[in-house]
Amino acid sequence: MTLLFQCEGDTDGSMLQALRAALPEQQIRRWPDEVGRRDEIEQAVVWMPPEDFFDGLTHLTHIHLLAAGADQLLSHPGLPPSASLLRLEDAGMGDRMAEYVLYGVLHAQRRFGDLAEASRARRWARDIAVPPATEHRVGILGAGVLATLVARRLVANGYPVACWSRSEKSLPDGIRGYVGKQGLVSMLPHIDTLVCLLPLTEATHGILSAELFAKLRPGAYLINCARGGHLCETDLTAALDAGQLTGALLDVFQREPLPQAHPFWQDPRITVTPHLAAPSPVAGSIEQVAANVRAIACGGELSGIVDRSRGY
């Protein structure tokens, strides 16, 4: 079996080396300098492949994505229609994401934004009331593997947590579930911090909008560490100016890197981080890809199968 590996971020070759060590029985070629005969390649391991990547890969049966989100691959103009797509389901990203979200929730609950503003003004702000974690309600848009891990961490730290999904999900004890359009309408008015962990699909594009913000409790806080396409950026600024939102922690943007002239850089109510909430660990990512490659060879069960019709 011949695999083609492409990952622009693997500058030191450590991921390719790990993949070859995990699959010594397979022929693994590196894109673009080791491609060779394209009609011999049966599987590809990719991260943000360029537009011409799939040209001539006429015998491609499976594509392994080195990320949890499949939206960028699904929008690729050259994506073969018949190839099966496999994404990472966790690979160690969950713990990192939980840390990131926990920081954001703590920032909102302990009112560190207000305290920072008081500090800049040299004001001894003993009047800023800080509610306990048990009174700061967190809503998570999403109820998949990552969202569930994040919810568990927040519950362990004393926060009441609810998860919303389009269809019914089985959630761990202590996490309330909301389902469908009516479920979202029911959940939002009770939320102090809203966390977006949804896959980016046609149905979820622009979900973080003025319409949604208006349904939240006044003064709510927003954390988006899913995809930039979920957020209507001008609606966020308007909600902050109106006091409907008090602040936001954003890790993802419609354009990345965030342009130097973008107003988010200058807004003290918004914390910008450079898409690092949950990087894919090399060992866990390669282990999951290698397990799927071996399963394909022997007809075993695959993980992370992408449903193209749903977008994840």
Q: Residue 207 has which token pair?
A: 């979900």
Helix (H, G, I), strand (E, B) or coil at 134: helix
Q: Residue 119 has which token pair?
A: 């500090």
Active site residue 152: no
CB 109 within 8 A of CB 223: no
Question: How far apart are the C-alpha atoms of 79 and 55, rounded to whole Å?
Answer: 9
Q: What residue spans of the chain are helical by DSSP H?
A: 14-22, 71-74, 93-109, 112-120, 145-156, 180-187, 210-213, 233-242, 282-298
Question: How far apart are the C-alpha atoms of 177 and 133, rounded to whole Å?
Answer: 19
Helix (H, G, I), strand (E, B) or coil at 222: strand
Question: How far apart are the C-alpha atoms of 294 and 291, rounded to whole Å?
Answer: 5
**Chain Cα centroid distance, residue 116:** 28
- What stretch of H or E contains 6? strand 2-7
**Chain Cα centroid distance, residue 40:** 33
Active site residue 275: yes
Q: Which of 76, 205, 269, 275 is catalytic?
A: 275
SS3 content of the chain, % helix, strand, coil (to 5): 35, 20, 50
Q: Residue 221 has which token pair?
A: 């806080």
Q: Which of 227, 230, 255, 269 is catalytic?
A: 227
Question: Rounded to 5 degrees, what angle do the CA atoms 277, 282, 285 make?
Answer: 85
**Which residues have a catalytic role annotated?**
227, 275
